[in-house]
Structure 1
């Protein structure tokens, strides 16, 4: 059976090369703005509050030891000690922050530590990252998962130790932690996105059908039949859970597959068109251009040119070295 979440995570090509240890003493508060980069928190000790800004409001989470939070496309957020609310976007933040090796010390440097966390941003290697991230929840909060707790403990051990290759090991552990967090959410309620859709058995059937047969001539009515719902009930339920209308989601998924096939360069244009549900190259070209902003042929040439430049810029390694 096709696993839609696994397919999206695989296409995203996640990595976590940037991390730092943050040690905090109450009272403290920090606000920061991001530029759409994925951001994560691993709470190693203690607790804190996290407010994630979103259009029309915000979500506030209370975090405790062992929690993991991933914000796939962070814009702005704030954290604070448990004794206060995270600062609003227009609120002045005066908590002292002092750099330290491998991270930062927040609050009174001589105060008792009430939170120790590993924070940083991830990278999504896929050129379709923005499109694929739109299929994920606005935020992911995982608690009480034994496998994740083990990974968090390993990450914490590496962050606190001074072992050789600590940065490399920490980065690899964080990659596994991020993938495991997304994988563990299939049965939980989260913000709108693919995970919430998969948590609904009826919607999950429609989602799996779209992923198993992206070339099928789907309509809202046909997808509703897959979900054993009326057309109107399916449309409303899908849109509320996933955050996209059914045909918008299908188009986004088809274009992600098309871009992957174009990058691989192994199929003719008509074969790619047929694999994503279009009976002609012209119909596929119109849909692709509208969604991506450039015709598929031009997209393929640009990708091929970029790959060739990378190859030419990379010197050949000597077969043996001293």
Structure 2
């Protein structure tokens, strides 16, 4: 019974988190993105080109089995999601940039995920046909974007109330983050403990490189700290649920899910450490 109710509860909790994010946003935040096309282009290049190339290299460098290699490629091809927005919200990132990038990346993933998955399947296994997964993409878009709108409306119409709600919702967001981490560890513990020796190193390095490259490439490109923080989390915190869905529901392969399952644990731990490190860096 609990296993049937838990996904609905989690969905509600994430929607509330995104409502809290909306309390700190305005339409002007999104309009200002037109002044920073470099940030959007850089993030898309990192997400669409560099990360799959890194995953490909790690799969070969760590000599992963074909199924694990494809699973890692699916993870690299997955866009950012609710968790990336949450981390950015908690650690001073440009959340409007996160939301915009998540929307763009999620839409593009309708094409890029099947493309990258089929390339990986063909290279590592010798065959593969992954169809477009529009339903899952629409679900992600709904969870990420729809709850933000009421928060923004409240912030514009009743700013005093919105300001009072921001702190409680930030605390709530932190609690949700902790519960997600514990839940991910508990849910995948058995499978992860068995496969950790094979995939742990590659997943950990991929997670570290994703976070670091997202932030430092942005800084080197001349972007400010909030935007670089947003890109760091957008590139470094993937929607592993989408990768899990493709591996299990479309390809019917449980081993392919294990890189994403391992990542769903490491990203919470490394995300918090990375966020705390960023707080110590100069603006």
Q: TM-score range by the shorter chain?
A: under 0.3
Q: TM-score, normalised by structure 2?
A: 0.26
By relative contact order (CA 8 Å, sep 6+), the higher-ranking structure is 2
Higher Rg of the two aligned structures: 1
Q: TM-score, normalised by structure 1?
A: 0.23
